[in-house]
Structure 1
Amino acid sequence: MVTNDRPIRISVVIPAFNEADSIGTQLNALASQISPGVDWGVIVADNGSQDKTVEVLRAHKETFPVPLRIVDASAVQGAAYAFNVGVTAARGESVAFCGADDRVDRGWIAAMVEPLTQTEVVGGPIRRLESPFRTGTDVLWNSVAPSRRTGQLMAVGSGNIAMHHDVYMAFGGFDHSHTRYGSDLDFGVRLQESGASVGFVEEMVYFFRPTTSSMTLLRKVLRSGQGEAVVWKRHEGLFRKENSRSWWLSIGPELIRAAASMRSRSDAAGVLRLGVSRLGQINGKWNLRRRSLPEQQLVDRVGDVHEL
């Protein structure tokens, strides 16, 4: 077990829920980091796992090359709350986020160190994680990308993002009233509104494990649409089009155009995902007519953090 009394420069925060079978890949990737001269550590925020996740973490803790802490994030279900708990427990000047079932590149930590001295928030390319593992896979998206509203760089999602700890605390971090979906979009919007500087780091490579089941993917798309509707309502001033009558009127023509342009099975799958996404957004909007927006729950609502 490694302990370190020196100041931690970067705290890596990983939310985990029932990841006993997959988190070892990410921990091994972190243990293999090439980061000479950088003091860093890992915090895994366990979101109430019912499997052997905590036991797996404790086994890795004994031989992990940097401090590995396990904290209890079981009070509220969802990755947003787990991130907030992990950042509250963090001692690093900066915090970096990754998923329990993904994999970071060997130079991930080293790639973010210098950019974080110049920029408050950094991200990089997200590539497809394949088995057997290889590095030259397709780039699926970038974790920071230009906003469609302003053209300025903003955080896209929660994986492969690093930022100054004080910036996270100042703008509130994740809103964990989003217990399932919507928290990533809300996070990116509020972070951009905070005025924090954002930069892209090509060498900050991250490998994402795609959903392989078509039905599971469609359920995620549906629930993401529901979460997006909540974010649109909460930030009405930023999403005027999505909260207007014209949005409703645009759905039919949009789907017709998409269907008319289909040329392959991949195109058909894209049209299906678009339709399911719009269905989720419609359902989310309908639900908000029957109930009020949930109260925001930001990082300052976490309270004391306990280690496991």
Structure 2
Amino acid sequence: MKPGRRAFFLPRMLSDSPWPAFCQRLARMARGQVSDETPQAGAPGRARLVVAREEDVYHAAALCREFGVLLVQPGAREAALPAERGWLRLDTSQLAAIEAFDERSGTIVVQAGCPMGALRERLAGTPWRWHAGADLEPVGAWLLRTRGWLPGRCRDSGLEAAQVLLADGAFEQLGPFGAESTQPLRSTSASRLVSDLFQLASDSAVAAMLELPVWPAGYRIDALVPRAATGGEPVPNPAHFLLGSEGTLAWAGRFRLRLRDAGEAPPVLSVQEREDRASGRETPADRLDAMVKATFDAGGVFPSSVV
């Protein structure tokens, strides 16, 4: 019997070893199923949590901070997962609901695990459309992995707002600022986070990157200095930091999406190949990526795609 599995047959006894203790405590606190997938004794821990409710992720993140375990969500890039650390993979397949659809305004609220195919099926027969993608891929994973939105044009993604769990354990809704804001930030940590991000967005390198034909950085700091939509004002939106972030900044459990009119062409995506970092040359985009990651997740709760 694998050491990591023994805990589930001895619910009243807590192990003194860190990894079995982590799995046991998570199994007691979470409503969803916990599976120890460590391949062999002595190997870095590997576990999976089938998320049954958002509180499961709150408990998981707290234990990950305590035990130094990475919290890995759908959309994470395998290359960003260090082999020497323990991982907890989040399975959001049970968080798959379409919670609200306002057909008049063309907005829809979905949970992170909602499959792309289910969303398209719900929109069939309406004047609204969503992006192309594999039917079984969760909407959340698609948003977290998809890159290529043009500089200053993150709104083309259709992501309007997201309910997130930040690295420090605070639940927040990130969304548009200004006249389009529907909910203020609730926690001090989120207010400080957004303030620090606005300060980063004032870096002269960001202005230069906005003039490029393709966004050169991994993280979308242009979320806070967007280009104005036709006939409108620019609307900063911190939720757009999630786009292409590969699950390295925060956990997102729910999204409000602005759909595309069926008669409109889908937005063009353009991805630039990143310069090989093995060359040792740090670009302004690399520097800003590292600063964004440190601002969101200084403690390393989530995987890191920056060096």
Q: TM-score, normalised by structure 2?
A: 0.28
Q: TM-score, normalised by structure 1?
A: 0.28
